Structure 1
Amino acid sequence: MTATLHVIFGPSGAGKSTYARELARSEPAVHFAIDDWMARLFAADMPEPLEFEWMMARVERCEAQIWSVAAATMAAGTSVVLDLGLMRKSDRARVAEIAQACELPIQFHFVTASSEVRRARVLERNEVRGETFAIEVNPDMFDFIEGVYEAPEAEELRGAIISES
């Protein structure tokens, strides 16, 4: 069996983390979630108010390490589930380019929900702090992320598995 790179993407609060965890259990695959890495490595040092440049520098470091470990995992024959956010089209294209350059079988998974449902989920996740909680996303952060997110066009979704909740 060939290891597959499963790439999860969608807007904030869509259910990506839940979907990614369930997919990793069912495959089986190793799950890499950027939120988990950021929370463990940098949450204690996070400036108030949050600075975009500070955050992005650390996201880039985490992604580089995730890619390194994910590549080794796939080389050993185990599938990987990447939950990196991938809010912008260029981020998703970069992942596809890396997979193609490394000749990795790739499957995109688009997870989405209405804005109202997503906002409510994020607020609930902040309160409950359950399995998928990594970092609190306050309403201002949610609005900021909404402004950064680029919805996929039909061409980008061709071949993707779509999960709408």
Structure 2
Amino acid sequence: MSQLYMLCGFIGSGKTTYAKKIEKNEKAIRFSMDEWMIPLFGESMSRIEFHERHSFFEEKFKEIAIQLLNNNQSVIFDFGFWTKEHRSKFYEWANENEINIKRIFLSTDMNTCKERAIKRSESHSKNSYIITESMFNELKKLFEKPSENEYDLRIS
């Protein structure tokens, strides 16, 4: 039976590392927003451009996910799902499409997230955005930790 995995967590929480484990163990198809956006558009874009592009890709990935799931192929969405509104819309979409969803929250403390994000930026991974400490602190204000009824599995 196919499964859609939804990974929620902040920058540096370990989402992609965890997604790659699922990908390998379950032979799932993994969609990582950064791995598409950075090669196509680079790192420099306005917040408006980022959100427009992110929304576009998310809709396309959802269309492809439905096809894969209907063909008994599991899918991983490594998107972050930072806000309650974004998660709610995603749950609604999954319910409307009768998709079996496993909601995973990577509950890594913010200090660890910051250390990982800055270290990753220093090595300049081609598949992740460069994050400075000041950027991290600003973006942290946008993250809304999910309530217990918003996830099926919590990874600390």
Instruction: Calculate the TM-score normalised by the size of structure 1.
Output: 0.88
Check the 8 A contact 1:15/1:112 in 2, yes or no. no
**CA deviation after TM superposition for structure 1 residue 114, in Å:** 1.2
Gaps of 5+ in 2: none
Check the 8 A contact 2:29/2:73 in 1, yes or no. yes
Q: Write out the 4+ residue segments of structure 1 that deviate beyond 4 Å after TM superposition.
A: none
> Any residues of structure 2 matched to 1:15-54 within 5 Å, and which?
15-43=14-42, 46-47=44-45, 51-54=46-49
In structure 2, which of residues 126, 129, 138 is the aligned counterpart of residue 135 of structure 1? 129
Gaps of 5+ in 1: none
**CA deviation after TM superposition for structure 1 residue 139, in Å:** 2.0
Check the 8 A contact 1:7/1:82 in 2, yes or no. yes
Check the 8 A contact 1:74/1:80 in 2, yes or no. yes
Q: What is the CA–CA distance in structure 2 between the aligned matches of 1:75 and 1:40, rounded to whole Å?
A: 29
CA RMSD of aligned residues (A): 1.5
Query: In structure 1, what is the equivalent of residue 154 of structure 2?
Result: 162
1:128 maps to amino acid = S
Instruction: Calculate the TM-score normalised by the size of structure 2.
Output: 0.93
> Any residues of structure 2 matched to 1:82-101 within 5 Å, and which?
82-101=77-96
Residue identity over aligned pairs, in percent, reads 24
Does 2:47 correspond to 1:55? no
Task: Give the number of equivalent residue pairs.
Answer: 156
**CA deviation after TM superposition for structure 1 residue 68, in Å:** 1.6
